[in-house]
């Protein structure tokens, strides 16, 4: 009998639970046993695991976060730590592992495979920063959380004729800022992929103000810098009445959207199919609405192409 282990690792993302549910349910459907490993690679090394059954994943498809908890684990970056992990997996007769997480977690999965232990990765991160897949689990929910916040800030921004800077997550990847900014009708979007000068932002503010538009929304991806510094610069140059909102961890929580639940379910089912086909060192993704899988190394070697067309279009629409 096959025994599959499952863990969530790195930053949590809404929809991880739906992915866990899909893995557990399809594995059991095909006659496998499943162990849930708590707190990512850290819990693996510390032997914090429990056998899961159909009801272990009941009533979780709609819940944010991850029932298996998540963590970052420095020890797993060492060969010694990983060998300890494999020892524990073998002790419980676990013969393969599904890892839900971001690129760091995938490197862990790759290294496990190199030790001869089959591992499959599922992309769970709100940032959408994995180039091989159109979407990662959690991105859509986080984007909708941001849109909701922009809508609320827009109401008060408009009443008081203020400029509002909204800082969103995204260290290297501006997708959350770009798409939430577009959908929220932001005037300016600042992302790590595009260099934008402070003077350009201020000129735009002044021009729109001259036209009689007195409120403005600026969406800033955290990787570019912090909202408070940017705010001070803008006030210095424009004397705008300006407020700042740093959305922070609210973006990581909440009930997953239908899109994320469906994506997570499809990816979870594919991960089990791959393991049952004897595959290892692969990650699941989505391209043109088709679930795909490819080698972890190949997936991680791809470089991101920023959606410049949409970025330019936003400039036109927010003239």
Q: Is 174 in the site for ligand ATP (CB under 6 A)?
A: no
Report the residue from 11, 36, 118, 174 that binds ligand ATP according to the rule CB under 6 A.
11
Q: Give the nearest residue (CB) to ligand ATP.
A: 104
- CB of residue 175 vs ligand ATP: minimum separation in angstroms? 13
Please state, in angstroms and rounded to a whole number, the distance separating the CA atoms of residues 94 and 90.
6
Report the residue from 76, 135, 179, 311 that binds ligand ATP according to the rule CB under 6 A.
76
Closer to ligand ATP by CB, 165 or 264: give it: 264
Closer to ligand ATP by CB, 13 or 219: give it: 13
Q: Which contacts (CB < 8 Å, 24+ apart) does range 151-154 have?
A: 151/184, 153/217, 153/245, 154/184, 154/185, 154/215, 154/217
Query: What is the SS3 string spanning the chain?
Result: CCEEEEEECCCCCCCHHHHHHHHHHHHHHCCCEEEEECCHHHHHHCCCEEEECHHHHCCCCCCCCCCCCCCCCHHHHCHHHHHHHHHHHHHCCCCEEEEEECHHHHHHHHHHHHCCCCEEEEEECCCCCCCCCCCCECHHHHHHHHHHHHHHHHHHHHHHCCEEEEEECCCCCCHHHHHHHHHCCCCEEECCCCCCCHHHHHHHHHHHHHCCCCCEEEEEEHHHCCHHHHHHHHHHHHCCCEEEEECHHHHHCCCCCHHHHHHHHHHHHHHHHHHHCCCCCEEEEEECCEEEEEEHHHHHHCCCCCCHHHHHHHHHHCC
Please state, in angstroms and rounded to a whole number, the distance separating the CA atoms of residues 53 and 51.
7
Report the residue from 16, 37, 41, 284 that binds ligand ATP according to the rule CB under 6 A.
41
Report the residue from 125, 216, 257, 280 that binds ligand ATP according to the rule CB under 6 A.
125
Report the residue from 111, 154, 252, 282 that binds ligand ATP according to the rule CB under 6 A.
111
Q: Which stretch binds ligand ATP (CB under 6 A): 73-81, 113-121, 184-192, 257-265?
A: 73-81
2 marked ligand binding residue: no
Report the residue from 60, 107, 250, 291 that binds ligand ATP according to the rule CB under 6 A.
107
Q: Is 251 in the site for ligand ATP (CB under 6 A)?
A: no
Q: Which stretch binds ligand ATP (CB under 6 A): 69-77, 191-199, 255-263, 266-274?
A: 69-77
Q: Is 132 in the site for ligand ATP (CB under 6 A)?
A: no
Closer to ligand ATP by CB, 125 or 257: give it: 125
271 marked ligand binding residue: no
Q: Is 73 in the site for ligand ATP (CB under 6 A)?
A: yes
Report the residue from 8, 9, 17, 164 that binds ligand ATP according to the rule CB under 6 A.
9
Q: Is 144 in the site for ligand ATP (CB under 6 A)?
A: no
Cβ-contact 137, 19 below 8 angstroms:
yes
The catalytic site residues sit at: 127
Please state, in angstroms and rounded to a whole number, the distance separating the CA atoms of residues 303 and 53.
39
23 marked ligand binding residue: yes
Q: Which residues are annotated as a binding site for ADP?
A: 21-25, 154, 185-187, 211, 213-215
Q: Which residues are annotated as a binding site for Mg(2+)?
A: 103
Q: Which residues are annotated as a binding site?
A: 11, 21-25, 72-73, 102-105, 125-127, 154, 162, 169-171, 185-187, 211, 213-215, 222, 243, 249-252
Site residues (vs ligand ATP, CB under 6 A)? 9-11, 41, 72-73, 76-77, 101-105, 107-108, 111, 125, 127
């Amino acid at each position: 009998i096959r025994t599959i282990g499952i863990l969530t690792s790195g930053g949590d993302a809404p929809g991880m639970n739906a992915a866990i549910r899909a893995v557990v349910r399809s594995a059991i459907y095909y006659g496998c046993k499943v162990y849930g490993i708590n707190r990512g690679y850290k819990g693996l090394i510390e032997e914090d695991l429990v056998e899961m059954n159909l009801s272990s994943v009941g009533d979780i498809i709609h819940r944010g976060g991850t029932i298996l908890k998540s963590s970052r684990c420095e020890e797993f970056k060492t060969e010694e730590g990983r060998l300890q992990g494999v020892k524990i997996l073998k002790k419980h007769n676990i013969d393969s592992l599904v890892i839900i997480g971001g690129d760091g977690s995938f490197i862990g999965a790759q290294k496990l495979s190199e030790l001869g232990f089959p591992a499959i990765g599922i992309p769970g991160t709100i940032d959408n920063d994995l180039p091989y897949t159109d979407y990662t689990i959690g991105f859509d929910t986080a984007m909708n959380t941001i849109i909701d916040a922009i809508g609320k800030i827009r109401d008060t921004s408009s009443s008081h004729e203020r400029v509002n800077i909204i800082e969103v997550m995204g260290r290297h990847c501006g997708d959350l800022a770009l798409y939430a900014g577009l959908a929220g009708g932001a005037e300016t979007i600042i992302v790590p992929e595009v260099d934008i000068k402070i003077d350009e932002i201020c000129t735009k503010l002044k021009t729109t103000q001259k036209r009689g538009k007195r409120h403005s929304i600026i969406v800033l991806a955290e990787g570019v810098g912090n909202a408070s510094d940017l705010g001070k610069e803008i006030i210095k140059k424009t004397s705008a009445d300006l407020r700042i909102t740093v959305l922070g961890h609210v973006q990581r929580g909440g009930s997953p959207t239908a899109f994320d639940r469906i994506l997570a379910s499809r990816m979870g089912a594919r991960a089990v199919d791959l393991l049952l086909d004897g595959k290892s060192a692969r990650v699941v993704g989505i391209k043109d609405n088709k679930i795909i899988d490819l080698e972890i190394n190949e997936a991680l070697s791809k470089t991101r192409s920023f959606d410049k067309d949409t970025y330019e279009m936003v400039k036109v629409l927010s003239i």
